Amino acid sequence: STKTCHKCGHKNNNITLKDRQWNCPKCGTHHERYHNAAINILNEGLKTLKTEPRGPGG
Ligand SMILES: [Zn+2]
């Protein structure tokens, strides 16, 4: 989600809807909400691909 740091995985629950950007209190990475969300979605997608069992002949 937009609240999760894609670098260290820290969840920042202090973010409100009006915060378009934030700094991770744990690793200090600067995040822009939509960009960070996009990266997290991408990471989730990659994870899903990796854990998916291979079909026959895979
Ligand atoms: Zn972080």
Evaluate whether 50 touches 43 at the Cβ level (below 8 Å). Answer: no
pLDDT, tens only, 1-58: 688 999 999 999 988 878 888 999 999 999 987 777 888 899 999 888 877 777 776 6
**pLDDT for res 5:** 93
For residue 42, report the distance from its CA to the centre of ligand 1, in Å. 17
DSSP H helical segments within 1-58, as ranges? 33-51
For residue 51, report the distance from its CA to the centre of ligand 1, in Å. 24
Instruction: Output DSSP code: residue 52.
Output: S
Q: Which two tokens stand for residue 55?
A: 């079909």
Residues in the chain: 58
